[in-house]
Amino acid sequence: MNANTLSLLFFLLLSILFFLIKIHVIKYAYEKIQISPYGVFLLLFFSLLGSYVNIALWQVHSSPHHATWFTGLWSVLPSLITSKTTIAINLGGAIIPIFISLYLMVKALHPEKTLLATLIVSLIVYYFSRVVPGVGITIPILLPALSAALSSLLLDKQATPQTAYISGSIGTLIGADLANLSKIKDLGISTASIGGAGTFDGIFLSGIMAVILA
Q: What is the pLDDT of residue 65?
A: 52
Q: Are strands 84-90 and 191-194 parallel, antiparallel or unpaired?
A: parallel
Q: Give 73-86 as a 3 state SS string.
A: EEEECCCCCCCEEE
- Are 186 and 64 within 8 A, CB to CB? no
- Integer-rounded Cα Rg, in Å, for the chain is 19
- Count Cβ neighbours within 10 Å for each residue of 121-140 and write b for 16 or more, e otherwise: bbebbbeebeebbbbbbebe
Separation CA 209–CA 76 (nearest Å): 34
* C-alpha dihedral sign at 163, 98, 185, 64: positive
What pLDDT does residue 183 have? Answer: 79
More confident residue, 152 or 34: 152
Q: At what angle do helices 160-172 and 202-213 cross, to 10 degrees?
A: 160
What's residue 162's pLDDT?
87
Work out the angle between the directed axes of helices 3-32 and 160-172 (0-180°, nearest 10): 120
Using CA atoms, how far apart are residues 29 and 100, in angstroms rounded to an integer? 13
- pLDDT tens per residue across span 198-210: 445 667 777 777 7
Percent of the chain with pLDDT over 90: 10
Q: Is the pLDDT of residue 144 over 70?
A: yes
Domain that holds residue 58: 3-213
Return the half-sphere exposure (C-beta side, CA atoms, 13 A cut-off) of residue 105: 18
pLDDT band of residue 15 (cuts 50, 70, 90) is low
Q: pLDDT digit string (tens) for 74-105? A: 444 444 455 777 888 888 888 988 998 998 89
Predicted confidence (pLDDT) at residue 161 exceeds the cutoff of 60: yes
**pLDDT tens, residue by residue, 31-61:** 778 777 677 777 777 877 787 888 888 887 7
Please give the pLDDT value at position 12.
65
Exposed (0-12), middle (13-18) or buried (19+): which is 99, by Cβ within 10 Å? exposed
Which residues, in sequence order, are CB contacts of 77 under 8 Å at separation 6+? 65, 67, 68, 133, 134, 135
Residue 118 vs residue 8, higher pLDDT: 118
SS3 for 140-203 is CCCHHHHHHHHHHHHHCHHHHHHHHHHHHHHHHHHHHHHHHHHHHHHCCCCEEEECCCCCCCHH
Q: Is the pTM of this model over 0.85?
A: no
Q: Residue length, the chain?
A: 214
Structural domains counted in the chain = 1
CA–CA dist 66, 74 (Å, integer)? 10
Instruction: Say what the pLDDT of residue 31 is.
Output: 76
pLDDT in the model for residue 68:
46
Q: What is the pLDDT of residue 70?
A: 43
